[in-house]
Chain A
Amino acid sequence: MRRFSKIRHASISMIIWALLPFSGIILHSHNATSAETTDIPLVGKNHEGRSQVVFIPEEQYLDKMSSTLLAVNDGVIPQLSQRSCEIEKHTHFELTTVTVAIGIEFQVGLGALFSVSTGGKMELVYANQFDPVIPE
């Protein structure tokens, strides 16, 4: 029987999910039969757990994506200074990276609008240190 030592290295991380109130952004989708060749698919599963596909025009997706990222940049990041100070005041941790998750949600049903929810299907990662890449 072999004998080995106790563990040597491990790290422990804490992640807090802070949900901020935001207005939802509506993407108007098409039925597959009317989708244009430039439309892009959004895939997910419906409330029954089955695959679901909707199509939205590429230009509309780009517009919504840009405006959403801008809203995040102007609405979320400015709050970080205060938040990071709070964290560092009460804990041993230093806030070095922030991830903002963006959810894309839909529901089957004509004209249904949906409440905001968390997602994680797109993430913007902000850092507080410049660490340039050195080309190889």
Chain B
Amino acid sequence: MNIYQISFISVLCGLGISACSRTSTPLTGNLPQEWIVTQKNKARTLKLTSNSHEETGPDFFEWKNPSPEADEKIRSVFTLQSAGLDRLVQMETIRKSLFQPLHGGPGGEPGEAPWHLSNFVAEFGVTVQGIFGNLMSDGGFAVKGIWRKKGQSLKKIESNPSYKVQWDTHQSRNQQLEPVIQSILRTGLVKKEDSFRKNIDRASGRFEKIVRVLEANPPIPSGWEVSRFALILSIDASGMVSPAVSVGSELLVRFDWDRPREITQKKPYPATFDLSDQDQNFLKVIRALGAQMGSTEQELNELQGQGINLEHFHVGLAVSASGTIGLVSLGGSVDGMLYYSRPGQIETIQLQSTHSDYFALNTNIPVIPSQLQKETDVLLIQPDSFRKGIKRAIKMGSYFARMGIASNSSDWSLDEIETEFEVALSGSIGVVTVESEPHLALEFHLEGDEK
């Protein structure tokens, strides 16, 4: 008997703050230009083909720390969020309502399942000039911080399923999905039921196909392991179902696969289907990404001593016209997001490095640029370059974490920092700017004080 979970996660409300504005020129306090993937680099990388690569110049991987002025500016942006939240706590009228039980919950009885403010999430952006600041509506975030009210747990929406159903393998996929379909139809937001049923079946079939391959991937020794695969679908009134990764759609359905804890190298699942060549290639990519991150243990251990723990990272996946699965912009047409966990975050059996490590570390990383998505070409990042880029990304991500930690107040604690990066085909990785789209996201957990 297989267990699936369905959850109706959240109602999300939109509210806008508008502003009068004038354009500006950069001030001091910018991030180093080496932290940004420049247009020049992008132009060069797009000339690459699957059979060639370009030598990377020293400038690609040169490391520069931000200036003291930049440190001060960036720290002040984080501190402002804490200060704003502290001000709420200090306001007597708010304190009475914001952090204490507000209303009756589902049962309608006062005191039952009370609503209260739990977390605060703020997104920050980076311009191409390297200016770091609070993000406005247009543009993708480079850094996301999650503050938790001390004394309360962090409520992460996407990991909070509340409803479970038994998914019987003897039932067809349509039968298994029926409770979800019924729930969606009852919202009244989908007008064309037939079209919706056909499209959701097709989308769930695509999800299942990738998941079946993921389950065929036993944990890699000394590498990071795939812990989750997520596909977010947007549904419109006409029944259209399409991949979605950002806010804005009225109705979203999220499919999540979490790696079963019982999958280990010593105890794989019983075999039921054959892996095609494409499946095998997909597995190579999965293992290569895990192995690359696994090669950064020394850097991560040093960060751990500073209370900064890189626990997860995720990448966007897309299937090329030729069927190759590769990295794609997280904001582009994504066929799913692949989440990795550091060994120890999920139950795996740790073994010594093996030949599989060696091959995984020397596998090219395929990238499917959105510009070429309709063509058969798949671009490749050299493994050595990718590894250098990953190490730089960890340095950059941990920098923001250090700046954020300094913003902790007596009432709020910055618990998590997610930093998003743009990956150039040269292997160079830079903080994503408001003008670009990220390919890779690092998720840091910060050890704060608890009061």
Report which A residues bind B (CB closer than 8 A): 1-20, 22, 24-33, 35, 40-47, 49-56, 58, 61-62, 64-66, 68-74, 76-78, 80-81, 83-85, 87-88, 90-133, 135-136
Within 8 Å of chain A (Cβ to Cβ): is B51? no
Residues of B in contact with A, size category: 35 or more
CA distance A66 to B86 in the complex (A): 10
- In the complex, are the beta carbons of B247 and A101 less than 8 A apart? yes
Given contacts A44-B434, A85-B106, contact A15 B9 (CB under 8 A): yes
B114 at interface by CB-CB < 8 Å: yes
B115 at interface by CB-CB < 8 Å = yes
Query: Given that A51-B127, A117-B137, A127-B155 are known contacts, is A106 also in contact with B19, CB under 8 Å in the complex?
Result: yes
Q: Mark B1-36, 1 if CB is under 8 A from A, else 0.
A: 011111111111111111111111111000000000
Kindly identify, within residues 129 to 176 of chain B, every residue whose CB is under 8 Å from any CB belonging to chain A: 129, 131-139, 141, 148, 150-153, 155, 157-158, 160-163, 165, 167, 169
Expressed in whole angstroms, the minimum distance between the Cβ of B7 and any Cβ of chain A is 5
Q: Which residues of A contact B108 (CB under 8 A)?
A: 81, 85
Give bound CA distance, A101 to B247, whole Å: 9
Within 8 A of A (CB), among B202-247: 207-208, 211-212, 215-216, 246-247
List of 6 A-B pairs having minimum Cβ-Cβ separation, nearest first: A93-B8, A3-B271, A32-B24, A41-B133, A44-B136, A118-B14
Contact of B80 among A61, A70, A108 (CB under 8 A): A61
Q: Mark B256-267, 1 if CB is under 8 A from A, else 0.
A: 111110000000
Q: B102 CB to closest chain A CB, in angstroms?
A: 6
* A8-B269, A73-B94, A125-B118 given; A45·B134 CB < 8 A: no
With A5-B269, A101-B13, A118-B248 known as contacts, the answer to whether A14 contacts B134 (CB < 8 A) is no
Indicate if the CB atoms of B435 and A50 lie closer than 8 Å: yes
Closest A residue to B23 by beta carbon equals A108
A-B contacts, 8 of them at CB < 8 A, read A5-B269, A12-B254, A13-B254, A66-B87, A73-B94, A99-B10, A101-B14, A128-B105
A45-B138, A95-B8, A135-B450 in contact; A103/B253 too (CB < 8 A)? no
Q: Distance (Å) between the CB of B425 and the closest chain A CB?
A: 21
Which of A12, A30, A56, A91 has most B Cβ within 10 Å? A12
- B residues less than 8 Å from A27 (CB atoms): 17-20
Of chain A, the residue at the smallest CB distance from B210 is: A7
**Given A7-B257, A105-B18, A116-B16; A13-B434 close (CB under 8 Å):** no
- Whether, in the assembled complex, B126 has its beta carbon less than 8 Å from a beta carbon of chain A, the answer is yes
Given contact pairs A52-B127, A90-B183, a sample of 14 additional A-B residue pairs in the complex whose CB atoms are under 8 Å apart: A7-B2, A11-B256, A12-B7, A14-B183, A29-B20, A32-B26, A40-B76, A101-B13, A104-B137, A118-B137, A119-B14, A119-B16, A125-B117, A131-B152
- Bitwise, B50-88 to A at CB < 8 A (1) or not (0) is 000000000000000000000001001100100110011
Q: Which residues of B contact A92 (CB under 8 A)?
A: 6, 8, 163, 165, 179, 183
- Residues of A contacting B15 with CB < 8 Å? 20, 22, 68, 71-72, 76, 100-103, 116, 119
Q: Is the CB–CB distance between B12 and A17 below 8 Å?
A: yes
Q: Is the CB of B12 within 8 A of A51?
A: no
